[in-house]
Amino acid sequence: MRQYDLVVLGAGSGNMLLSEEFDGMRTAIVDPDRFGGTCLNRGCIPSKMFVVAADAAEDARTAQRLGVHASVSHVDWKSVRDRVFNRIDPLHESAVEYRRGKGVDVFTEAARFVAPKVLEVGTERITAETIVVAVGSRPVVPDIPGLDTVAFHTSDTIMRIDDLPASMLVLGGGFIAAEFGHVFSSFGVDVTIVQRGPRLLMAEDEQVSQRFTELAAQRQRLLLDSEVTAVEPKGDGVTARVAGPDGEHGVEADMLLVCVGRRPNTDRLRAAAGGLQLDEHGHVVTDDAYRTSVPGVWALGDAVNHFQLKHVANAESRVVRHNILHPQNVRTLSNNVAPHAVFTSPQIACVGLTEQEARHRGIDFVVSVRDYADTAYGWALEDTTSFVKLLASRADRMLLGAHIIGPQAATLIQPLIQAMSLGLTVDRIGRDVMYIHPALTEAVEQALLGL
Give 334's pLDDT tier (boundaries 50, 70, 90).
confident
Long-range contacts of 66-75 (CB under 8 A, 24+ apart): 66/382, 72/188, 75/164, 75/187, 75/188
Closest C-alpha to 259, from 212, 340, 201: 201
Give 335's pLDDT tier (boundaries 50, 70, 90).
confident
Closest C-alpha to 272, from 285, 261, 262: 285
- State residue 329's pLDDT score: 96
pLDDT at 393 over 90: yes
- State residue 222's pLDDT score: 98
Kindly report, residue by residue over 64-107, the tens digit of the pLDDT.
Answer: 999 999 999 999 999 999 999 999 999 999 999 999 999 999 99
Q: Say what percent of the chain tops pLDDT 90.
A: 99
Q: Say what percent of the chain tops pLDDT 70.
A: 100
Instruction: Give me the mean pLDDT over the 292-317 stretch.
Output: 96
Kindly report, residue by residue over 3-60, the tens digit of the pLDDT.
Answer: 999 999 999 999 999 999 999 999 999 999 999 999 999 999 999 999 999 999 999 9
- State residue 17's pLDDT score: 95
pLDDT at 311 over 90: yes
The mean predicted confidence, pLDDT, of the chain is 97
- State residue 135's pLDDT score: 97
Report the residue count for the chain. Answer: 451
State the Cα–Cα distance between residues 253 and 194, nearest whole angstrom: 12
CB-neighbour burial class of residue 141 (10 A; exposed 0-12, middle 13-18, buried 19+)? middle
Helix (H) or strand (E) holding 284: none
Closest C-alpha to 387, from 433, 348, 358: 348
Helix (H) or strand (E) holding 54: helix 44-62
- Strands (E) located in 204-337: 221-223, 227-234, 237-244, 247-253, 255-258, 262-264, 297-299
CA gyration radius, the chain: 24
pTM: 0.96
SS3 334: coil
State the Cα–Cα distance between residues 429 and 416, nearest whole angstrom: 8
State the Cα–Cα distance between residues 291 and 279, nearest whole angstrom: 15
Query: Does the active-site annotation cover 437?
Result: yes
- State residue 278's pLDDT score: 97
Kindly report, residue by residue over 126-178, the tens digit of the pLDDT.
Answer: 999 999 999 999 999 999 999 999 999 999 999 999 999 999 999 999 999 99
Q: Which of 249, 326, 360, 437 is catalytic?
A: 437
- State residue 100's pLDDT score: 97
pLDDT at 336 over 90: no
Kindly report, residue by residue over 229-257, the tens digit of the pLDDT.
Answer: 999 999 999 999 999 999 999 999 999 99
Strands 399-405 and 387-393: what pairing? Answer: antiparallel
Kindly report, residue by residue over 395-427, the tens digit of the pLDDT.
Answer: 999 999 999 999 999 999 999 999 999 999 999
Q: Is omega for the bond preceding 438 within 30 degrees of 0, making it cis?
A: yes
Closest C-alpha to 273, from 104, 112, 38: 112
- State residue 201's pLDDT score: 98
* Residue 63 phi, psi dihedral angles, 5° rounding: -70, -15
pLDDT at 285 over 90: yes
